[in-house]
Amino acid sequence: MLGRSDALRRLIDVGVSFISIILSSPLFLLIAVMTKLGTRGSVLFRQERVGLGEKRFTIYKFRSMPESRTAFLQEGRPPKKEASRVGRFLRGPGLDELPQLVNVLRGDMSLVGPRPLIPEELYCQDELRYLVRNRCRVRPGMTGLWQITNREKGAVPPYLREMLACDAFYIENRSIWLDMRILFVTGLYVAGCLMKNLTAARNGKGQVTLVPSKEVAVIADPQPYQGASSSKAV
């Protein structure tokens, strides 16, 4: 049974995602046409991810690289040199992830939460297994605490432990207020990155990726996770 905060969070997810899909439909169409004209292949990239309760679901993104190269894609965010020209522009501000609003509306994801796992990550090394499975206590999110404070690091192995600790901190301290702050910072990031990229494109300088800092986020640094003993139900 959903708690009051979980029910309110789900209500916000449904309302915001539904309205955003309607208002963004012209942008969806524009990006779809740009993607189709820029490269051959399907407009959407689909990949299996792990969500709440380790349930598998299909995540949707606008394809940001040539379809012939998707076999090399593991994380959904390929190196810049592998991305198409349109894809490089979309990935900077995260516009390639707009189709995930459909995942939010369907209940696969939330607006805010940990990064959605790929199935292989469930079978990581023993000392991290609890932290990985702990993330499945909540729905994964389109944005989250790790994404806005450490976007430049991503989820590659050198930063995996740090990312999992950050996710555990969010899960133990999550609230509607914290989610609203994360969404606000994400909005600032997207707007800032779009402006930077548009200005750079006008000046012929290519893509600029803006990385939000912890100072901009005004959110406390996650503390080291203490382990299963401090876990509580969400």
The average pLDDT across 167-191 equals 91
Q: Where are the alpha helices (DSSP H) in 39-175?
A: 85-91, 100-106, 126-134, 145-149, 160-173
- Cα 166 off chain centre by: 14
Mean pLDDT, the chain, whole residue set: 77
Reported confidence tier of residue 170, pLDDT bands at 50, 70, 90: very high
Reported confidence tier of residue 83, pLDDT bands at 50, 70, 90: low
User: How far, in Å, CA of 99 to CA of 106, rounded?
Assistant: 12
Task: Reply yes or no on whether the pLDDT at 197 is more than 60.
Answer: yes
Task: Reply yes or no on whether the pLDDT at 129 is more than 70.
Answer: yes
Reported confidence tier of residue 60, pLDDT bands at 50, 70, 90: very high
Phi, psi for 99 (deg, rounded to 5): -60, -15
pLDDT of residue 163: 83
Task: Reply yes or no on whether the pLDDT at 210 is more than 60.
Answer: no
Give pLDDT tens digits for 130-164: 778 888 899 999 999 988 887 655 555 556 778 88
Highest mean pLDDT among 31-35, 81-85, 190-194: 31-35
How far lies 164's CA from each of 6, 46, 105, 197, 225, in Å?
Answer: 22, 24, 26, 30, 9
Highest mean pLDDT among 4-8, 56-60, 67-71, 168-172: 56-60
The answer to whether residues 83 and 38 touch, using CB atoms and an 8 Å cutoff, is no
Q: Which two tokens stand for residue 40?
A: 């051959």
